[in-house]
């Protein structure tokens, strides 16, 4: 199989050199070329025919957003990874890029990092993202797919919605959350793999687009119906019943599946607290985070919906659940919100309250 060809677009000579050396050290990858600005990149794409483009956000002339917009017009399916700074400005523009069709993003190493550690970080993270986007991640794609026939009818009333997602998740959440009605009758807890600051800005962005409240989670918050809490970057999120309320907790226990926050951590706690009254949704994402947690939801009698492969940027996370036979329903992204609304509405009564558990 030929190596994956990557076009590196960045106005910094240092960053172009760093990325070029990182790519050269990975046999599965090949540097297709470099470009110092967006105009040069657009001219080079038909010449070098890359499989993936890495794209800086801040560039003279055509900036990253403008270049991405042109790439999406000309090459709708070409994977693009934004190269972002870990700042509020960088995070905000990265979220805008993801909403405009960027496939994924990578944060630039901090100035405090040594060159060796920067190279190792970039090589590890960039390689994983590229191989997943082009379908070469064998850990994700090698398992046989088995469709579950666990349930043919609705189970217990749903009292909580738990969502896990990663690569492609911000855009998927922007498709799902704003479609939920203002009187959505249960609380919603979300893990989106993102660093600190990014998760707060994602929550603010979704809150501005939605009929229900969306917040970055804070320790000690009681769950309320019709409110979405997104786990903050670098913190696991769990829930625990306390008297008549269910409370959010945050911790910095070791990463699971190389992730913090991790979907598995959230799903386990939701399964313990809500058992068969749990609806878990797993959407697009790299790797298999959420699969073990989904097994806990399944064992507790809860239900699991997943996004289908054609509408996922990367089908690693939902695909792992389907392969394990844990999916109760497999939906295109555009149908998930209606399926969730339908399932949450089944079997409800006036005395069922998601935040008042005996």
Residue 282, classed as helix, strand or coil, is strand
- Integer Cα distance of 321 and 304 in angstroms: 9
Alpha helices for 182-261 (secondary structure H)? 198-209
Residues 55 and 63: beta-carbon distance below 8 Å: no
Task: Return phi, psi of residue 15, to 5°.
Answer: -70, -40
Annotated catalytic residues are 166, 193, 289
- Integer Cα distance of 243 and 232 in angstroms: 25
Pick the closest to residue 271 from 240, 247, 245 (CA basis).
Answer: 240
- Integer Cα distance of 7 and 44 in angstroms: 9
Residue 168, classed as helix, strand or coil, is coil
For 58, 88, 171, 266, 307, the CA distances from 320, given in Å and listed in that order, are 36, 33, 21, 17, 11
Burial 192-229 (b: 16+ CB within 10 A, else e): bbbeebbbbbbbbbbbeebebebebbeeebebebbbbb
Burial 345-354 (b: 16+ CB within 10 A, else e): eeeeeeeeeb
Peptide bond into 261 cis (omega under 30): yes
For 247, 259, 264, the CA distances from 288, given in Å and listed in that order, are 27, 11, 9
- Integer Cα distance of 178 and 321 in angstroms: 25
Residues 305 and 279: beta-carbon distance below 8 Å: yes
Pick the closest to residue 177 from 294, 99, 249 (CA basis).
Answer: 99
Structure tokens at 209: 């687009």
Pairing of strands 245-251, 236-242: antiparallel
Cβ-proximal residues to 116 (8 Å cutoff; 6+ apart), any chain = none
């Amino acid at each position: 199989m030929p190596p994956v060809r990557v076009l590196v677009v960045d106005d910094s000579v240092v960053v172009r050199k760093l990325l070029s050396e990182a790519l050269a050290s990975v046999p599965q990858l090949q540097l297709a070329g470099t470009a110092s600005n967006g105009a040069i990149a657009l001219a080079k794409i038909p010449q070098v025919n890359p499989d993936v483009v890495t794209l800086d956000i801040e560039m003279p002339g055509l900036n990253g957003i403008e270049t991405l917009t042109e790439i999406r017009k000309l090459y709708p399916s070409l994977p693009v990874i934004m190269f972002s700074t870990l700042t509020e400005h960088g995070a905000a523009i990265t979220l805008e890029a993801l909403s405009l069709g960027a496939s994924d993003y990578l944060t630039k190493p901090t100035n405090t990092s040594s060159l060796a550690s920067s190279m190792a970080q970039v090589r590890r993270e960039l390689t994983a993202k590229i191989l997943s986007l082009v379908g070469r991640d064998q850990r994700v794609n090698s398992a046989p797919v088995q469709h579950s026939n666990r349930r043919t009818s609705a189970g217990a009333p749903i009292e909580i919605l738990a969502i896990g997602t990663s690569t492609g998740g911000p855009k998927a959440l922007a498709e799902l959350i704003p479609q939920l009605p203002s009187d959505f009758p249960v609380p919603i807890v979300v893990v989106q793999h993102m660093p600190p600051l990014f998760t707060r800005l994602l929550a603010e962005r979704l809150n501005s687009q939605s009929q229900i409240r969306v917040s970055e989670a804070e320790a000690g918050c009681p769950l309320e119906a019709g409110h979405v809490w997104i786990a903050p970057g670098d913190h696991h999120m769990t829930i625990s019943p306390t008297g008549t309320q269910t409370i959010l907790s945050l911790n910095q226990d070791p990463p699971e599946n190389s992730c913090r926050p991790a979907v598995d951590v959230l799903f386990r706690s939701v399964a313990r607290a809500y058992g068969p009254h749990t609806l878990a949704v797993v959407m697009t994402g790299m790797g298999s985070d959420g699969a073990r947690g989904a097994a806990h939801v399944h064992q507790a009698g809860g239900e699991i919906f997943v996004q289908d492969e054609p509408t996922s940027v990367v089908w690693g996370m939902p695909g792992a659940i389907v392969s394990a036979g844990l999916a109760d329903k497999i939906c295109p992204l555009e149908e998930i919100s209606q399926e969730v609304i339908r399932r949450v509405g089944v079997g409800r009564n006036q005395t069922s309250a998601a935040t008042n558990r005996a």
